[in-house]
Amino acid sequence: MRLLLFKEIKQLIKIQLNEIPLELRKQTSLHQLRAQQHPEADILIVNGFPTSEDCQLTEGDRVTMIQRGVIPDADQLEALMMARHTPGVHARIAKSRVGIAGAGGLGSNIAIALARVGVGQLVIADFDLVEPSNLNRQQYFIDQIGLPKVIALKENLQRINPYVRIETFDGRIDAQNLNQVFADVDVMVEAFDAPEQKAMLTAAHLQQSPDCPLVAASGMAGYAASNSIQTKRIRENFYLVGDQITAAKPGQGLMAPRVSIAAGHQANAVLRLLLGEPPE
């Protein structure tokens, strides 16, 4: 009996199907697996390469099967997203709640990065509309011109990850409503354009919510060297991204590359904070 069981085990191989471990009999082909598991699938990807031809599967193969036009359910999407993360990361950040004040060049890029990485809840506030001039650096599309930014951004985020929970506030943030709009966030992000708004939010947040980390930005205009943008710890629970010099002015506008670099720094600082790591 033990000999038969051992022989059966030797005849099995382990693969990943849509990032979920699966044991198969040896000699199982790709098309046989499709017939058994996902007969409706019309896109087959083996070890990162799309194929329409049948092939024999071997130990350690990673197979993805997709049906065109069908959105994976929440569990399937989570498994597919988790596959590209460091082990343990997704489970921790999926429970987190991040506030983003501003949905322009910084905020829209930060929100998309955090949605892609699997942050569970985003609270986004902005009072502005999408304008043609925004399209040079912000994550909107030409057919969204005239929409409130928070509405357009939520629409785009849900196309990327329909299972991220998004709260929006279409209005101005001030010292009086800051805590109400961003109640219970784990990390707060300052992503405003105007210096006076930046200063207001920073001062109000650090005074009202000193235990909640704040990631702000200053200095990312123009096309100066990428490496001049850095993440620095200013004080307890306050981190500042940018070069702290290059403000937008005539001849030195806000452009997609450096704004995106700064937004990437801010998003990565948020991720590190959520995982208990120092951002700087």
The identity of residue 165, as a single letter, is R
Read off the amino acid at residue 85. H
Of 199, 241, 245, 239, give the one whose Cα is nearest residue 222: 245
Strands, sheet with 62-66, edge to edge from the N-terminal-most edge strand: 20-25, 12-17, 62-66, 43-46, 49-50
pLDDT in tens, 226-268: 999 999 999 999 999 999 999 888 888 899 999 999 999 999 9
- Structure tokens given for 37: 């598991």
Within the chain, which residue ranges are assigned CATH 3.40.50.720? 89-274
pLDDT mean over 117-143: 96
| Degrees, nearest 5: CA angle 131-132-134 | 70
Count of CB atoms situated within 10 Å of the CB of 66: 18
Rounded CA-CA distance 17/29 in Å is 13
pLDDT value of residue 13: 92
pLDDT in tens, 40-93: 999 998 988 889 999 999 999 989 898 888 888 877 777 776 666 666 788 889
Please say whether the beta carbons of 154 and 106 come within 8 A: no
Give the list of residues 6+ apart from residue 195 with CB closer than 8 angstroms, or none.
Answer: 247
- In CATH terms, the fold of domain 2-70 is Ubiquitin-like (UB roll) (3.10.20)
Contact 229, 243 (CB under 8 A): yes
**CATH class of residue range 89-274:** alpha beta
- In the chain, CATH 3.10.20.30 sits at 2-70
